[in-house]
Amino acid sequence: MTNKKEIFAGIIVIGNEILSGRTQDTNTSTLSIWLNSLGIKVQEVRTIPDSEKIIVETVADLRKKFDYVFTTGGIGPTHDDITASSIAKAFNLKYGPHKEAMDILEKYYKPGEFNKGRQKMAWMPTSAELIYNPTSGAPGFNVENVFCLPGVPSILKSMLGGITHKLVGGKPILSQTINLKTVESEIAKSLSNVQKNNKEVDIGSYPFFRAGKLGVAIVLRSDVQSQIDKCNLEIIKFVKEKNIEIVEKD
Amino acid sequence: MTNKKEIFAGIIVIGNEILSGRTQDTNTSTLSIWLNSLGIKVQEVRTIPDSEKIIVETVADLRKKFDYVFTTGGIGPTHDDITASSIAKAFNLKYGPHKEAMDILEKYYKPGEFNKGRQKMAWMPTSAELIYNPTSGAPGFNVENVFCLPGVPSILKSMLGGITHKLVGGKPILSQTINLKTVESEIAKSLSNVQKNNKEVDIGSYPFFRAGKLGVAIVLRSDVQSQIDKCNLEIIKFVKEKNIEIVEKD
Q: Looking at chain A, which residue has its C-alpha nearest residue B80? A: A204
Contact B80 A203 (CB under 8 A): yes
Average pLDDT of span B111-137 = 93
pLDDT category at B10 given cuts 50, 70, 90 is very high
Contact B188 A32 (CB under 8 A): no
Which CATH number does the domain B7-166 belong to among 3.40.980.10, 3.90.1640.30, 3.40.50.1360, 3.30.2310.20?
3.40.980.10
Q: Which fold has domain B174-247?
A: Alpha-Beta Plaits (3.30.70)
Partner residue facing B78 (CB), from A48, A173, A184: A184
Query: Residues spanned by CATH 3.40.980.10 within chain B?
Result: 7-166
pLDDT tens-digit profile of B57-104? 999 999 999 999 999 999 999 999 999 999 999 999 999 999 999 999
Contact B43 A79 (CB under 8 A): no
CA distance A97 to A110: 19
Q: Which chain A residues are closer than 8 Å to B21 by Cβ? A: 28-33, 36, 42
Which residues 183-212 in chain B show a CB within 8 A of chain A? 184-189, 191-192, 195, 202-207, 209
Which residues 116-155 in chain A show a CB within 8 A of chain B? 116-118, 120-121, 152, 154
Q: What is the pLDDT of residue B213?
A: 77
Average pLDDT of span B236-245 = 96
Q: Range with the lowest mean pLDDT among A63-67, A153-157, B135-139? A: B135-139
Shortest distance, CA B109 to any CA of chain A (angstroms): 12
Average pLDDT of span A200-208 = 93
pLDDT tens-digit profile of A19-33? 999 999 999 999 999
Partner residue facing A24 (CB), from B29, B47, B117: B29
Q: Given a cut of 50, is residue A1 above it in pLDDT?
A: no
Q: What is the CA radius of gyration of chain B?
A: 22
pLDDT tens-digit profile of A77-99? 999 999 999 999 999 999 999 99
Q: Which chain B residues are closer than 8 Å to A207 by Cβ? A: 76, 152
pLDDT tens-digit profile of B138-187? 999 999 999 999 999 999 999 999 999 999 999 888 999 999 999 999 99
Which residues 84-113 in chain B show a CB within 8 A of chain A? none
- Give the mutation candidate from A35, A80, A121 for the B interface (greatest B CB count, under 10 A): A80
Question: Given CB atoms, is A174 within the 8 Å cutoff of chain B?
Answer: no
pLDDT tens-digit profile of B16-64? 999 999 999 999 999 999 999 999 999 999 999 999 999 999 999 999 9
A172: left (phi over 0), alpha (psi -120 to 50) or beta: beta
Query: Residues spanned by CATH 3.30.70.600 within chain A?
Result: 174-247
Residue A219's contacts (CB-CB under 8 Å, 6 or more residues apart) are A175, A176, A177, A203, A204, A205, A206, B17, B20, B22
Q: What is the pLDDT of residue B249?
A: 58
CA distances from B128 to A54, A237, B85, B98 (A): 32, 38, 12, 8
Shortest distance, CA B51 to any CA of chain A (angstroms): 10
Shortest distance, CA A45 to any CA of chain B (angstroms): 5
Q: Given a cut of 80, is residue A152 above it in pLDDT?
A: yes
Q: What is the pLDDT of residue A210?
A: 74
3-class secondary structure per residue, B158-185: HHHHHCHHHCCCCCCCEEEEEEEECCHH
pLDDT category at A244 given cuts 50, 70, 90 is very high
Q: What is the pLDDT of residue A62?
A: 98
Q: Given a cut of 50, is residue B106 above it in pLDDT?
A: yes
Residue A81's contacts (CB-CB under 8 Å, 6 or more residues apart) are A74, A75, A120
Partner residue facing A21 (CB), from B36, B116, B152: B36
3-class secondary structure per residue, A161-228: HHCHHHCCCCCCCEEEEEEEECCHHHHHHHHHHHHHHCCCCEEEEEEEEECCEEEEEEEEEECCHHHH
pLDDT tens-digit profile of A104-146? 999 999 888 898 889 999 999 999 999 999 998 999 999 999 9
Q: Cβ distance B84 to B141 under 8 Å? A: yes
Question: Given CB atoms, is A50 within the 8 Å cutoff of chain B?
Answer: yes
pLDDT category at B1 given cuts 50, 70, 90 is very low
Which residues 1-40 in chain B show a CB within 8 A of chain A? 13, 15-26, 28-33, 36
